Copies of this chain bind each other. A is one copy, B any other.
Amino acid sequence: MAVPRALRERWRSQSALVLDLVLIAVVWQVSTYFLPPIVAPGLSAIGRALLDIFIEPDLRIHLIYTSLRVLVSLLGAFIIGTAVGLMMGGSDWFRDYMRPLLNLMQGIPALSWIVFAVIWFTEVEVRIAFIILMVTIPTFALQVDSAVRGVNLDFIQLAQAFRASRMQRYAMVLLPAIVPAIISVWSVNLGNAIRVAVVAELIGATTGVGFQLLNAQAVLDMAAAIAWTLSLVLVLFFYQGIIMMIERRLLAWRPKGEQA
């Protein structure tokens, strides 16, 4: 029967997650016995701080801010990056001009983007979005480009043989063919975006997890610092869950490999 099987798989991966978390918690708790309590607070202190983040509206708002910043910027980066990547995949000429620019962007650390953001923009949210965009667009664009170039030539010729217009070629062949690559670059960039959002939030923002995290570190409140970090991990899990749902839906056509 099919339903139990799908259920069984989902159950297995859920229980794996729980087991992972338990494992990490145990390792942490054990390590606290060997480390001074100032830098390695116990699980209960961390747990309390984490709970606070979710129940106190004053704290929760920071998490919401950061989540939204990540989401909106990432969607923007996705649209821009995918468009650029598709164009690069479609034209050697464009690719030659874009690749160095994207590589250049990749080489610039967030520390430097921060200064440029301050110089060029006044609006806090714009600055944060700018920094996240600068860091995540190259990844989207380069991966999409490489995926487009990996699409089976047979399928492209098929579309050409049927005289599909350029738009149709993209919509009916290229985009569906690169969906797996797009999904995997989303998971990569999600991490990137969260990481850089935290740094970006150090300029101008008095909201957001980045600010709270730095604050907690500055006043040596390690339990809070770890709790804020975990709250980011939870945000990532949440988004990752959405990505996996979309993956299950869009990649349902993939044959299930029996073994590799």
CB neighbors of B among A178-214 (8 A)? 180, 183-184, 187-188, 190-192, 194-195, 198-199, 210, 213-214
Instruction: Report Cα–Cα, A232/B232, bound state, in Å.
Output: 29
Instruction: Report Cα–Cα, A100/B17, bound state, in Å.
Output: 6
A176 within 8 A of B: no
Identical copies of this chain, number: 2
A167 within 8 A of B: no
**Residues of A within 8 Å of B, CB-based: how many?**
81
Known: A142-B184, A180-B150. A111 touches B156 (CB 8 A): no
Instruction: Report Cα–Cα, A93/B9, bound state, in Å.
Output: 10
Known: A115-B217, A225-B115. A199 touches B139 (CB 8 A): no
Q: How far is the CB of A117 from chain B (nearest CB, A)?
A: 12
A109, A119, A146, A187: which has the most chain B beta carbons within 10 Å? A109
- In the assembled complex, which residues on chain B have CB atoms less than 8 Å from the CB atom of A139? 188, 191
Partner of A21, one of B100, B194, B257: B100
Instruction: Report Cα–Cα, A140/B142, bound state, in Å.
Output: 15
CB pair B198–A153 under 8 Å, yes or no, is no
Partner of A16, one of B19, B100, B180, B195: B100
CB pair A194–B12 under 8 Å, yes or no, is no
- In the assembled complex, which residues on chain B have CB atoms less than 8 Å from the CB atom of A111? 198-199, 210, 213-214, 217
A133 within 8 A of B: no
A39 within 8 A of B: yes
Partner of A153, one of B93, B180, B236, B257: B257
A112 (CB) vs chain B CBs: closest residue: B229
CB pair A156–B260 under 8 Å, yes or no, is yes
Q: From DSSP, what is the main secondary structure of chain A's interface residues?
A: helix
A46 within 8 A of B: no
Instruction: Report Cα–Cα, A21/B118, bound state, in Å.
Output: 23
A85-125 contact mask (Cβ, 8 Å, vs B): 1 or 0 = 00001111100110111011111111110010011000000
Partner of A199, one of B21, B110, B115, B259: B110
CB pair B232–A109 under 8 Å, yes or no, is yes
CB pair A97–B19 under 8 Å, yes or no, is yes
Instruction: Report Cα–Cα, A146/B186, bound state, in Å.
Output: 12
CB pair B236–A191 under 8 Å, yes or no, is no
